[in-house]
């Protein structure tokens, strides 16, 4: 898929800018996790990471994973 997606992005830049992008411009793609976990799944993962001692219970990351804030 790599080369084809780079070509697609070059075309998108051409349409956006009205001129072809320079060939020297580096275009790369970053694949992301397409999963959309539920709040319960995210909270469960946070609890397990705290129980395993990987993350501190009071950390911002754990609160964010659980959908909470410090306020």
Dump the DSSP string for 4-32. HHHHHHHHHHHHHHSSPPPTTS-------
Please say whether the beta carbons of 43 and 66 come within 8 A: yes
- In this prediction, residue 55 carries a pLDDT of 94
Higher pLDDT, 1 or 65: 65
**Phi and psi dihedrals of 23, rounded to 5?**
-65, -20
pLDDT digits (tens, 9 = 90+) for 2-58: 788 888 888 999 999 999 988 877 887 777 778 888 889 999 999 999 999 999 998
pLDDT of 71 above 70: no
Q: Would you kindly state where each structural domain of the chain is located, as residue ranges? A: 1-31, 35-71
> What is the average pLDDT across 54-64?
90
3-state secondary structure 29-50: CCCCCCCCCCHHHHHHHHHHHH
Residue 1 pLDDT? 61
Entry pTM? 0.50
């Amino acid at each position: 898929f790599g080369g084809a997606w780079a070509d697609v992005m070059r075309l998108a830049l051409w349409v956006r800018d009205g001129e072809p992008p320079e060939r020297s411009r580096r275009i790369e793609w970053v694949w992301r996790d397409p999963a959309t976990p539920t709040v319960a799944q995210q909270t469960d993962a946070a609890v397990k990471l705290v129980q395993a001692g990987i993350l501190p219970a009071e950390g911002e990351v754990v609160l964010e994973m659980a959908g909470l804030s410090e306020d």
